[in-house]
Amino acid sequence: MIRKFRILDLDAILRIEKKAFPKSPYSRFTFLYYASAYRDNFLVYVQEDMRKGLNKIGGYIIFYPEGHIVSIAVHPAYRRRGIGAELVGEVLKRTKGNASVEVRESNEIAKEFYTHLGFSMQSIIQKYYGDEDALLMIRRGSV
Ligand SMILES: CC(C)(COP(=O)(O)OP(=O)(O)OC[C@H]1O[C@@H](n2cnc3c(N)ncnc32)[C@H](O)[C@@H]1OP(=O)(O)O)[C@@H](O)C(=O)NCCC(=O)NCCS
């Protein structure tokens, strides 16, 4: 299930964030900023845990209303099950299939992921991450 972020999700999101981006995780403050400034654009994937009867956060996505993806991460234990694609799919539903994202040049998995979802490389943004270039990837058109 995908729903809007709730404050009680924050600790789980921070744990996912540290695993997904160990060198430069977003802080608690950054997530709180997006939760307040972009309430409708911060979504979480809730994974039902049948054994424990609990709902666990499988991943999240933050995006700007026009479809620019700010950040996405899926818990390592839940990867390769289509959760990331579903989260991006929620963005594409709202933007008629138009979206964009910056990707670290070395992030081969993210490049594969976005290519699979119909994004293509638009340009290189030199030293976007300070130590590394970004690829600007865009997607246009129908979902
Ligand atoms: C990128 C990320 C969000 C993908 O999430 P996910 O839920 O595992 O992705 P999906 O299962 O929806 O994958 C969809 C497709 O993307 C591609 N893909 C995803 N992971 C891949 C991998 N490890 N290797 C190669 N291709 C991959 C595949 O084409 C896959 O389709 P398939 O499984 O049918 O072959 C996840 O790997 C992640 O959180 N990475 C760390 C954070 C990050 O790099 N975020 C992006 C920053 S721009």
pTM to 2 decimal places: 0.96
Q: Which of 23-47 are b and which e, b meaning 16 or more Cβ less than 10 Å from the residue's Cβ?
A: eebbeeeebeebbeeeeebbbbbbb
Write down the domain spans for the chain.
2-139
Measured from the Cα of 86, ligand 1's closest atom is: 12
Give domain 2-139's CATH architecture: 3-Layer(aba) Sandwich (3.40)
Per run of 10 residues, the mean pLDDT along the chain (length 143 residues) is 96 97 96 97 88 80 98 96 98 97 97 98 96 96 77
Q: From the CB of 79, is ligand 1 less than 6 Å away? A: yes
Output the CA 85–ligand 1 centroid distance in Å. 8
